[in-house]
Structures are given as C-alpha cells and as structure tokens.
A and B are shown apart, each in its own frame.
Chain A
Amino acid sequence: MPFLALANIKKSFGQTQVVHDFNMAIEKGEFISFLGPSGCGKTTILRMIAGFEQPSGGTIHINGKDQTRLKPNQRNIGMVFQAYALFPNMTVFDNVAFGLKVAGQPKAEIETRVKEMLKLIHLEHLADRYPYQMSGGQQQRVALARALAPKPQVLLLDEPLSALDAKIRVSLREEIRQIQRQLGITTVFVTHDQEEALSISDRIVVMNAGRADQIGTPSDIYNRPTTRFVASFVGTLNIIEATIVDPAAGTVMIGDQTIALRESIADKTGGETISLALRPEAGSLSESAKGDTALTGKVVSANFLGSVVRTRIAVGKNTVSFDMFNSPDLVMPAPDEVVTLRFSAGDLLVIRD
C-alpha cells in the first residue's frame, strides 16, 4: 500500500475546475516533485494534502488513514512556504519550538528537539535571532527545521526556493535533499523550475492544466517525454515539425531534407505532419562526430552562455537550437553561415499527444 495516496482528486473554484481526477501513489520516503507552470494546479493539490483546501471529490490517505476531511492541525504534516512565513514575533528557537509547544510537549524535550533541528540545519548559533535579522536562505532553513521538528508524516514544500538568489537556491536544494534522505521523510515538492525538479526528485509529476501529463523519474521525463507539453516544458527541447514521406521506411521530410527515424511511425500515414523532439545537447557540428543523421541549415544566432555555446539554426520553417561545450579554442559559428548538424537518429523522439 502506498504511504500517501491521492485518489480521483478533483477541485473546482466556482465554475472553473483546476484539478481533474488526479491519481497518485507515493511510497514512504519518496521525494516527489510537482512540476508545471503557474496555474497548472500543482499548488492546489499540495494545499489539499495540507488540508487548506477541501477537494471537490476524491480521497487523500496517509499511511492508510483517510485524511480527506481532517483539518490542517489534525494531520501532522510539515510544510514550508514560498515566502518563509516565519513568525516575526518569535526568535529562531521559538519558531522551531512552536509545533512542539502547541502539542503540549514538556519543556526539556522541546529544548532537546529544537537544538537537534538547529544542528541539522547548521544554525545553532542563531537560535536567539529574530527572522528579520537573517538572510532569506537562513530563514528558509529555519522554516524547514520548524516544519520537521514535530516529526511530521509528510513534508510539503511549496516553491520554497523561488524567493532566493540563484546561488543559495542551488546549495539549499542540495541541503534539503540531503536532510530528506537522512530522515527518510516522504516529501512533496512543488516547483515551476525544471532544473530544480530534475536535480532532487525521485519522481516528477509534470502538471498541465489540472492534469498529470507524465509521471516518471527525472531521466524518464527529460529523455522520454510523452507529450509535447512535457517536451517543451522540461529542458529546452527542440520541437521540429516534419512531414511523413514513407511510414513503413520511417522517412520524414524537414524543410527539403529527408531523414530516416529509428522509432517506428508505421501507424501513421504519408503526408501527415508530426512533431519530433531533439535535445539541444544531442547535436554537434564536428565532422568527426558519430551520428548517422545530418541536417543542414543557416545559423540564426550563436550565444556564449559560459559552459556552453548555444547556436540556433534555421532548417526549413523550424529553428533548431543545440549546445556545444565551451573550450578556449572553440570557433563560434557566424550568423548566416551554413552548417551541418550531426546527431543520432535515436535522439529524435516522436511526440504523440
């Protein structure tokens, strides 16, 4: 039996339905990310798990117990909010102690547990500070400690990193993942940042318009997107429009160039337009690159992004981006130069919506 089970969850606000028949089974100790653009329903699902919103239909079970009608303060769930939401009138110590205090635990136990939690987030020395005296990253770590102190069954993270600076975002997400592993706590993480989701999750749920488009491991989601939405939202996948030449042979035409696919398109008919996905790091300009497929096009732009150079070339009506690793002797392609992009036919995925 899954530890956290969402069954046929529906949610409507007035006339608009924001979550449609959502099903999900989360195992104990799993780190699950809900990934999607704003308004896709991911935060609403999180808030229903927390109990801040009542589902219009369906059930929520944690550890076999029905939680659907319980109030938030009866669920024993930990939650970290986007805007920290530390209590401004309390010190770090009192913030972390809050959940234990309202649960009526003895003073000595509270003190031990709070110290343990502060140690976990490496902020023992700031116990007497008030929230306003700390940086955003520190505040969010305190918020994490506060959520974990009462030993919740489930930890919910509502875009906890999006208010922070880029550098702190990366280090804090690693810290969160490490603490989560250490405690083995079942965690649901909501984010609109695909890099974040890919880097720390066991599984990712890509949400689109109130539905789960795809549920899978980060590698699955990134390498084998099943819908056009997943392909375009996760990573910077190229979507290339192609016309089928011969379904049996698997040949398609892109602009005026014909190439063969490895994936079978025998179920399609000739002349039909299909979408193909190509990851930007799959291609190369090098003559010696191994690759059985090539596309020729005119360079639209080449941008230096630090570790990679991203080049966009026009092939027929499509613009295809690809990344080359930076090296000091790399020659950047010039605009309007005609180049040949080589890649393996296996890297071209057929998008079946």
Chain B
Amino acid sequence: MSTASPFIDRRTIIDWLGIAPFMIFALMFLIVPTLYLVTGAFFNAEGQFTFQNIADLFTPTILSAYWISIKVSLASSLGGALIGFALAWAIVLGGLPSWIRNGLLTFSGVASNFAGVPLAFAFIATLGRTGLVTVFLRDWFGFNLYSTGFNLLSFFGLTITYMFFQIPLMVLILTPALDGLKKEWREASEILGASTWQYWRMIGLPILWPSLLGTSLLLFANAFGAIATAYALTGASLNIVPILLYAQIRGDVLHNPNLGYALALGMIVITGLSNVLYIWLRMRAERWQK
C-alpha cells in the first residue's frame, strides 16, 4: 500500500498531460485572445483602468449598429425557427412520402453550410436590382419590387438571406427532437378528449421547448457574429456590429483602438447572455427530465 500513492500521483500527472496539448491550444487560440480583448476594453491607450470605452459604446452610431444587428439576428432566428419547425413537422408528422424527408435532410445538411460570400451572390442574383425574381416580377406583372421600398441591402434583405442557412439548421436539429415525440402521447391525449391544438399546447410544445429554444438561440448567435454574407451583400453600407468591428480592425475608423475592444466585448456579452438565458430557460423547461 505504501508504494501505491506515488504510483497514483505519477498516473494522475500522465492523465493530465494527456489533454495538455488541447489545453494549450484552447488557451492560446481561444481563451487568451478573448480575455485580452475583454480586459483591453477596460483600459485606455495609456494603460490606465477606465470605463470610458464602455461609455463610448453608447453613441448613436454604435448603438444603432447593435440595434440593427440584434434585429436582424432576432428576425432571422425567429423566422428560421418558425419555418424550420414547420418543415421538420411536415417531414416527421405530416405523413409525407419518405423520399421527401431524406431529400430535405440532405439538402439541409448542404444549405446550413452554404453561407458566407457565395450566399450573398445567390441572393443578389435573385433579388438584386437585376435579379431573376425582380426582373420576373417587373416583366410579367409590371410590379417593381424596388419601388415598394424593398432593398436587398437592408434589414429585411439581410434577414431573408440569413434565413437560407438558419432554416436548414433548425430542420437538422429539430427533426430528431420531433422523432422523439412518442405516438402514444398523442394517442393518450386524444383518447382523453384533447384536440390537436390542446395536444400541442399542453404536451408537444412543452416537450420540444428546450430544443426549440436552444436552437433559436444558437441561430441568434450564428447570425449575430456572421459577417461574410453581410459584407459581400452590402459592402460597408449596412451598419451592423460585425461590419463596424471589421472596419475598425482594418482602419481604426473609431480612432480609438480600445473602443474596438469594447465593441468586441459587447458582442461577447450579447452572444454570451443569449447562452446564459438559454441555459437558464432550459433548466426551467427540463425540470421533468433526468
């Protein structure tokens, strides 16, 4: 027994050494860079502690950038969640032939990864001023889309573009969750006298709530941090946070490097908060789970 303890100690050290490469990687390329920005947000150029950078965020330009970003992310994640839910519901419970299910799932795998610059091109070619749909509406119905105030380079345009990867992501995550709804729950509620609506309100949705919510918040963070699509779509003309930060990194447009840190901190806080909110709501929603 007396020889056992040093042996265990050595083994423990080896155990921890095993994940050392991962730890070093995470520290160097994920944790420290993030913390560097977070702390940098609280210092001025002379290295003194200050809240001035945070206070400077509350200027009209920056506030409006945050506001548009939040609006686009909310709209595209809620829209994505709603339509994604409808599609997942259709393929799981809609009684459709199985090839539709397989087709949609395969397509969703592709489309959820089809983001960035090419996605912007696709929507410019479709809804841009000379895009297919715009031209089609003009030539066949004499309807000028752009005279209605529609603009692809706007809140609405960006939202509809982002939904191209948001919806498939929702479908991919929600389909297994819907598969997990047991047929017997539906039948039990029916035989107890419940209508379809009552089943969904009292059983189906409460059970799906955690996955629905979790995915929506994931979609929110996904849209909030996205820049490539927006940048390729609008250049620097649309004032959203990632584009503002991009411009700041490239050319210090805010004329204060530490204000850039604060901008980044704001992004982390918002995506972080959405995750804390998610964890909290999920814990509440899952009281009934193991």
> Does the CB pair B195–A73 fall under 8 Å?
yes
List CB contacts (< 8 Å) of A120-178 with chain B. Answer: 130-132, 143, 146-147, 150
From B48-56, B71-79, B282-290, give the one contacting chain A. B282-290
Q: Which stretch in A83-91, A317-325, A334-342 binds the other chain?
A: A83-91
In the complex the two chains form, what is the Cα distance from A51 to B192 in whole Å? 12
Name the one of B189, B191, B289 contacting A87, with C-beta atoms under 8 angstroms. Answer: B189
Complex Cα–Cα for A76 and B193 (A): 7
Annotate A31-71 by CB proximity to B: 1 below 8 A, 0 otherwise. Answer: 00000000000000000001110000000000000000001
Shortest Cβ gap from A143 to chain B (Å): 8
Cβ contact of B190, chosen from A73, A91, A101, A147, cutoff 8 A: A73
Establish whether residues A81 and B288, one from each chain, have CB atoms under 8 Å apart when the complex forms: no
Is A81 within 8 A of B188, CB to CB? Answer: yes
Tell me if A343 counts as interface (CB < 8 A to partner B): no
Q: How far is the CA of A146 from the CA of B184 in the complex (A)?
A: 14
Give Cα distance in the complex from A337 to B232, angstroms.
Answer: 93
| Residue from A81, A83, A86, A132 in contact with B289 in the complex, judged by beta carbons closer than 8 Å | A132
On whether A72 and B287 interact (CB within 8 A), knowing A85-B184, A88-B207, the answer reads: no
Whether A75 is near chain B, meaning CB under 8 Å from some CB there, is yes
Q: Does A103 contact B (CB under 8 A)?
A: yes
Number of A-B contacts (CB under 8 A): 82
- State the interface size on chain B (CB cutoff 8 A): 21
Bound CA span A81–B185, Å: 10
- The answer to whether A98 touches B192, judged by C-beta atoms less than 8 angstroms apart, is yes
Chain B CB within 8 A of A99 CB: yes
Q: How far is the CA of A146 from the CA of B194 in the complex (A)?
A: 13
Contact, CB under 8 Å: A89 / B203 = yes
Residue B202 at the chain A interface, CB threshold 8 Å: yes
Which of A86, A102, A132 has most B Cβ within 10 Å?
A102
Bound Cα distance from A75 to B182, whole angstroms: 22
A297 at the A/B interface (Cβ < 8 Å)?
A: no
* Chain B: minimal CB distance from A213 (Å): 28
Q: B184 to chain A: which residues have CB within 8 Å?
A: 81, 83, 85
Q: A interface, how many residues as a size bin? A: 20 to 34
What is the minimal beta-carbon distance from A87 to any residue of chain B, in angstroms?
5
Chain B residues numbered 24-39 whose CB sits less than 8 Å from any CB in chain A? none
A79 within 8 A of B: yes
Complex formed: what's the CA distance from A52 to B184 in Å?
11
- Contact at B185–A102, with CB atoms within 8 Å? no
State whether A72 touches B206 (Cβ < 8 A): no
B188 / chain A contacts, CB cutoff of 8 Å: 79, 81, 85-87, 143, 146
- Residues from chain A with a CB closer than 8 A to the CB of B290 are 132
Pick the contact of A102 from B182, B187, B194, B287 — CB < 8 Å? B194
For B12, the chain A residues whose CB sits under 8 A away are none
Interface residues of B in 154-196 (CB under 8 A from A): 182, 184-185, 187-195
- How far, in whole Å, are A87 and B181 apart by their CA atoms in the complex? 10
The residue of chain B having its C-beta at the shortest distance from the C-beta of A86 within the complex is B188
Q: How far is the CA of A52 from the CA of B203 in the complex (A)?
A: 19
Of the candidates A131, A132, A150, which one forms a contact with B193 in the assembled complex, judged by CB atoms under 8 Å apart?
A150
A118 located at the interface, meaning its Cβ lies under 8 Å from any Cβ of chain B in the complex: no
A103 CA to B192 CA, complexed, in Å? 9
Expressed in whole angstroms, the Cα–Cα distance for A88 and B206 within the complex equals 10
A147–B185 CA distance with the chains assembled, in angstroms: 13
Q: Which of B192, B194, B195, B287 contacts A130 (CB 8 A)?
A: B287
Q: 1/0 per residue B261-290: CB within 8 Å of A?
A: 000000000000000000000000001111
Residue B198, interface by CB 8 Å = yes
Q: Which of B184, B198, B287 has the most CB of A within 10 A?
A: B184
Contact B288 A130 (CB under 8 A): yes
Chain A residues near B198 (CB-CB < 8 A): 102
- Other CB < 8 Å A-B pairs besides A87-B202, A147-B191, 18 of them? A52-B187, A71-B190, A73-B191, A73-B194, A79-B188, A81-B184, A81-B187, A83-B182, A85-B187, A88-B288, A89-B288, A90-B203, A90-B288, A91-B288, A102-B192, A102-B202, A132-B288, A150-B192
List residues of chain A with CB under 8 Å of any chain B CB.
Answer: 50-52, 71-73, 75-79, 81, 83, 85-91, 98-99, 101-103, 130-132, 143, 146-147, 150
- Listed by A's residue number, 24 A-B pairs whose Cβ atoms lie within 8 Å are A72-B187, A72-B191, A73-B190, A73-B193, A73-B195, A75-B191, A76-B193, A78-B192, A81-B184, A85-B185, A85-B187, A87-B188, A89-B203, A90-B202, A98-B194, A99-B192, A99-B194, A101-B202, A102-B195, A102-B198, A130-B287, A131-B288, A147-B192, A150-B193
Report which B residues bind A (CB closer than 8 A).
182, 184-185, 187-195, 198, 202-203, 206-207, 287-290
